[in-house]
């Protein structure tokens, strides 16, 4: 048993959904309701063996077993959301079962209307774009700094936000992704001050930053810096199960909470998984406990160790904070001289059995997680040292494929109009000069290459190697 788990046993954490689910498991009933596998009795035996009978026994949905409902929030689900709001410093927290994607869709759908303008960074996640297609709002693109050497988008400057607010008087909100996928942090405090001066709500897509609330060694969370609403993918770094996230509304938020709640109800499944909801409850309880904080400090110290070791290497470099921006220390974006990010990823995977978060043109992203041990990190360092000293060469096809477009779009039609216009599918080579009709945003990180209504140019082609055909407007 590690020190972290030993010390943790002492404190009892409050997790109402987890407790209710445990009670339901310990007091089984004869079930004549969904899910039809009925505690796994109707499941494929191989599947049951793989995930375990217990997991299938607690696979239930709301309204049964006194577990409360999600829409409207009642019972243990309501209590768990309230505890989460308290832990994250929010006025209200909504649990999300289609990731932060659901939160972003609800924010756009609930808060904006056709033709309204949203100032947002070009490297926003595709869920923000989908939200705009649903509501009919239009993006005013903020072009962040470009980190050419790293092949990634950087931070958004408050001055650019102010400039756009000054020149557009019909802006319904400002919507900033912070941090970027690679951990680059914008000055949200100043951006928030600008938004307040113009009376425009600020939404921060903090999908990758749910840990910030729980350590003073990480950047300050946007809710503490004046943002009106924030999404957190707890499943990404907070320890909940895949697909579970949270949407937090700030204490003195300018936004219409009812409108967002109504949109969430329309967008969500009517059979929410209690297992996923319990995992959100558990993740919050864990992060907010002494044990969770220790795990987080370990993740931070592991990341610092990795960065110190990289510093000693000859050919491998990590992205560090610099003039104008901070970084989240747990997101370690690295590059190796002479190797594309994709090639480095394949070396780590094939030669060392290491899986990374993602790779792009120049580099790759490693996450130092609350679940990683010091031994994991030592192994990673050992392997990077070997790569640093070996003479790997790049592989041409991996080198040529481009992943992270940093292009300024040429907009010919509105997003929604183009999405719903008559289209045709044509070979990629014939698409230059035509207007795109589909969202092309590869995951990860789900950043747009092309959007409906944008002109397709020669510059897009290196990013479209996986596409033989493209949908364009007729
Ligand atoms: C910045 C950003 N926002 C939102 C999302 C969507 O999150 P989820 O996968 O929880 O739906 C992602 C996913 O990668 C993201 O990178």
pLDDT in tens, the chain (474 residues): 444 444 444 457 799 999 999 999 999 999 999 999 999 999 999 999 999 999 999 999 987 878 999 999 999 999 999 999 999 999 999 999 999 999 999 999 999 999 999 999 999 999 999 999 999 999 999 999 999 889 899 999 999 999 999 999 889 999 999 999 999 999 999 999 999 999 999 999 999 999 999 999 999 999 999 999 999 999 999 999 999 999 999 999 999 999 999 999 999 999 999 999 999 999 999 999 999 999 999 999 999 999 999 999 999 999 998 887 899 999 999 999 999 999 999 999 999 999 999 998 889 999 999 999 999 999 999 999 999 999 898 776 666 667 777 888 999 999 999 999 999 999 998 999 999 999 898 777 778 889 999 999 999 998 888 899 999 999
Is 187 in the same domain as 235?
yes
pLDDT score of 400: 62
C-alpha span between 59 and 24 (Å, rounded): 11
Select from 400, 426, 445 the last residue of a domain. 400
pLDDT score of 136: 95
Q: Which two tokens stand for residue 115?
A: 């033709």
Is 383 in the same domain as 342?
yes
Is 433 in the same domain as 450?
yes
The answer to whether residue 83 sits within a structural domain is no
Is 329 in the same domain as 354?
yes
The preferred substitution site among 97, 98, 101 for testing ligand 1, maximizing ligand atoms within 8 Å of CB, is: 101
Indicate if the alpha-carbon torsion angle 421, 118, 224, 106 is positive or negative. Answer: negative
Is 261 in the same domain as 272?
no
**Residues in contact with ligand 1 (CB, 6 Å cut-off):** 99-101, 104, 125, 127, 177, 181, 205, 207, 233, 245, 444-446
CA of 351 to the centre of ligand 1 (A): 30
CA of 96 to the centre of ligand 1 (A): 12
pLDDT score of 297: 98
The answer to whether residue 90 sits within a structural domain is no
CA of 103 to the centre of ligand 1 (A): 10
Select from 351, 372, 400 the last residue of a domain. 400
pLDDT score of 396: 64
CA of 105 to the centre of ligand 1 (A): 11
Index of the ligand 1 atom closest to the CA of residue 180: 1
Is 151 in the same domain as 190?
yes
Is 221 in the same domain as 106?
yes
Phi and psi, residue 294, nearest 5°: -70, -40
C-alpha span between 182 and 328 (Å, rounded): 9
pLDDT score of 1: 41
The answer to whether residue 409 sits within a structural domain is no
CA of 125 to the centre of ligand 1 (A): 6
The preferred substitution site among 99, 129, 153, 247 for testing ligand 1, maximizing ligand atoms within 8 Å of CB, is: 99
Is 327 in the same domain as 253?
no
Residues of the domain holding 232: 98-265
Give the count of domains, the chain. Answer: 4
pLDDT score of 2: 45
Index of the ligand 1 atom closest to the CA of residue 103: 11
Index of the ligand 1 atom closest to the CA of residue 98: 11
The answer to whether residue 92 sits within a structural domain is no
At 439 the three-state DSSP class reads: coil
C-alpha span between 18 and 25 (Å, rounded): 11
Residue ID of nearest Cα to ligand 1 atom 9: 99
Q: What HEC string does 197-221 produce?
A: HHCCCEEEECCCCCCHHHCCCCCCC
Q: Which residues contact 310 (CB under 8 A, 6 or more apart)?
A: 316, 317, 318, 332, 334, 384
Select from 218, 253, 288 the last residue of a domain. 288
Index of the ligand 1 atom closest to the CA of residue 181: 16
Is 247 in the same domain as 280?
no
The preferred substitution site among 96, 120, 122, 125 for testing ligand 1, maximizing ligand atoms within 8 Å of CB, is: 125
Indicate if the alpha-carbon torsion angle 382, 385, 391, 392 is positive or negative. Answer: positive
The preferred substitution site among 98, 127, 244, 439 for testing ligand 1, maximizing ligand atoms within 8 Å of CB, is: 127
């Amino acid at each position: 048993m590690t020190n972290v788990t030993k010390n943790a046993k002492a404190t009892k954490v409050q997790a109402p959904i987890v407790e209710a689910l445990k009670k339901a498991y310990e007091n089984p009933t004869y079930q004549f309701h969904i899910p039809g596998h009925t505690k796994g009795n109707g499941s494929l035996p191989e599947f049951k063996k793989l995930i375990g009978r217990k997991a299938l026994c607690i696979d239930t949905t709301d309204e049964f077993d006194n577990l409360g409902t999600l829409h409207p929030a009642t019972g243990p689900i309501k209590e768990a959301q309230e505890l989460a709001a308290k832990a994250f410093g929010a006025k209200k927290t909504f649990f999300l079962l289609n990731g932060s994607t659901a939160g972003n869709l609800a924010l756009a759908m609930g808060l904006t209307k056709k033709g309204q303008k949203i100032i947002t960074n070009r490297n926003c996640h595709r869920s923000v774009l989908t939200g705009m297609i649903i509501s009919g709002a239009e993006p005013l693109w903020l072009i962040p700094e470009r980190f050419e050497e790293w092949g990634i988008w950087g931070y958004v400057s408050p001055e650019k936000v102010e400039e756009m607010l000054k020149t557009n008087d019909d802006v319904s909100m400002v919507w900033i992704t912070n941090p970027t996928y690679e951990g680059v942090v914008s000055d949200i405090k100043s951006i928030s001050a600008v938004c307040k001066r113009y009376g425009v709500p600020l939404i921060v897509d903090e999908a990758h930053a749910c840990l910030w609330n729980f350590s003073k060694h990480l950047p300050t969370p946007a809710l503490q810096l004046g943002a009106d609403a924030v999404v957190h993918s707890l499943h990404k770094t907070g320890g909940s199960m895949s697909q579970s996230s949270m949407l937090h509304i700030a204490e003195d938020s300018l936004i219409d909470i009812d409108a967002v709640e109504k949109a969430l109800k329309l967008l969500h499944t009517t059979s929410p998984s209690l297992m996923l909801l319990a995992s959100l409850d558990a993740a919050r309880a864990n992060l907010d406990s002494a044990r969770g904080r220790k795990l987080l400090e370990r993740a931070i110290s592991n990341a610092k160790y990795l960065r110190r070791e990289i510093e000693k290497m000859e050919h491998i470099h990590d992205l560090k904070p610099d003039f104008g921006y901070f970084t989240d220390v747990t997101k370690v974006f690295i590059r190796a001289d002479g190797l594309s990010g994709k090639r480095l990823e394949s070396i780590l995977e094939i030669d060392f059995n290491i899986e990374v978060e993602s790779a792009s043109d120049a580099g790759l992203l490693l996450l130092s997680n609350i679940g990683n041990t010091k031994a994991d990190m030592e192994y990673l360092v050992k392997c990077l040292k070997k790569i640093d000293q070996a003479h790997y060469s790049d592989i041409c096809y991996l080198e040529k494929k481009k992943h992270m477009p940093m292009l300024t779009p040429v907009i010919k039609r509105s997003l929604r109009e183009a999405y719903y216009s008559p289209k045709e599918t044509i070979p990629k080579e014939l698409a230059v000069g035509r207007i795109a009709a589909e969202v092309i945003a590869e995951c990860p990180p789900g950043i747009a290459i092309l959007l409906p209504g944008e002109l397709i140019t020669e510059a897009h082609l290196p990013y479209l190697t996986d596409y033989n055909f493209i949908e364009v407007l007729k």
